[in-house]
Amino acid sequence: MWNNKRIFNFYFKTKKLNTTFIISLFNILNKFQIFSQISIQSAFEIVNNLNIKIYNEKEIILNQNQEVNKFYLIEKGIIQASNSEKNIKIFEKGNSFGEFFILNEQKSTYIFKCISKEAILYELSSNFFLELLTEQSINDYIKQKMTLEDYNLSLNDLYYLSYLGRGGFGNVCLVHNEFFFFAIKGISKLKVKRQKFGFNYILYEKNKFNYLAHPFILKLIKH
């Protein structure tokens, strides 16, 4: 994988641009949604400022109340965010974390820990991350991600657009809050009570979606 780092080092030492380098560069950065539309110049700068760190199982990346001075991208492994009471989220390959605390100038409110056998993270300093926000596509992605992680969102902020479909226990509708589209699922308590494992199934589904964070899986915003 990061034999490609040799290609990057070759470029930055010789300043010779070639097709192999460009392909390797974008193959790596395009794994991350945040970098899917960046310019070539930004790609070069990112690689030049990138640090790679390997974490072992149960190793802590960020502690609760710790200053956050890095933006993290997950190349491999699973990272769990938790507090003293419960697990909050699971971050997997292709996801990122740290931006919320950097932009809000807050200490980490969670413990971030590696829960896979090994995790490979790409790390960017908070100062460089803030510089990256001048790239419009990165700025737009971060704004959207932070808005979708706004846990103050309520039903009063949403208005109905259309009916999407019906599932085993309820109905799904398309709603909007003047910024983003959401799918809202309404569940019939009566149907749940009639099913032997209805409540357990819904609780299982909620718990799984509550802390999954992946670009190809719908994000559970609130329940």
What CATH code is carried by the domain that includes residue 109?
Answer: 2.60.120.10
- Rounded CA gap, 208 and 216, in Å? 15
Contact 108, 66 (CB under 8 A): yes
- Statement: the pTM of the whole predicted model exceeds 0.85: no
Q: What is the DSSP letter of 110?
A: S
Over the stretch 152-192, which tens digit does the pLDDT of each residue have? 667 788 889 999 998 777 889 999 887 778 888 888 777 77
Domain end point (choices 128, 148, 168): 148
Is residue 222 in some structural domain? no
**What pLDDT score does 171 carry?**
87
Q: Quick one: 70 and 118 in the same domain?
A: yes
Please report the pLDDT score of residue 2 as a whole number: 39
Q: How confident is the model at residue 95 (pLDDT cuts 50, 70, 90)?
A: confident
Number of domains in the chain: 2
In this prediction, residue 55 has a pLDDT band, given cuts at 50, 70 and 90, of very high
Residue 84 pLDDT: 76
pLDDT at 85: 72
Q: Same structural domain for residues 46 and 134?
A: yes
Spatial separation of the C-alpha atoms in residues 23 and 34, rounded to whole Å: 18
Average of pLDDT values for 20-40? Answer: 75
Chain segment 184-222, per-residue pLDDT in tens? 888 877 777 777 666 777 777 776 676 565 667 777 766
Range of the domain at 18: 4-148
The shares of helix, strand and coil residues in the chain, as percent rounded to the nearest 5, are 35, 30, 35
Nearest to 123 by CA among 80, 82, 74, 66: 74
The token duo for 98 is: 């740290």
Kindly report the CATH number assigned to the domain that includes residue 194: 3.30.200.20
- How far does Cα 180 stand from its chain's mean position? 17
* Per-residue b or e along 12-31, where b marks 16 or more CB atoms closer than 10 Å to that residue's CB: eeeeeeeeebeebbeebbeb
Does residue 36 sit in the same domain as residue 81?
A: yes
Q: Are residues 100 and 205 part of one domain?
A: no
Q: Which residue has the higher pLDDT, 101 or 168?
A: 101
- What confidence score (pLDDT) does residue 67 get? 95
What are the CB-based long-range contacts (under 8 Å, 24+) for 187-195? 195/169
Q: Calculate the average pLDDT of the chain.
A: 79
Q: Give the pLDDT score at 120.
A: 92
- Residue 162's φ and ψ, nearest 5 degrees, are -165, 165
Residue 151 has pLDDT above 60, yes or no: no
Identity at 126, one-letter amino acid code: S
In this predicted structure, what is the pLDDT of residue 157? Answer: 83
Are both 164 and 126 inside the same structural domain? no
Between CA 22 and CA 40 the distance in angstroms is 9
| Distance, CA of 105 to CA of 157 (rounded, Å) | 27
Low-confidence winner among 2-6, 141-145, 196-200, 216-220 (lowest mean pLDDT): 2-6
Query: What is the pLDDT averaged over residues 135-147?
Result: 81
Instruction: Show which of 101, 122, 148 is a domain's final residue.
Output: 148
- Find, among 28, 115, 122, the residue nearest to 70 by Cα: 122
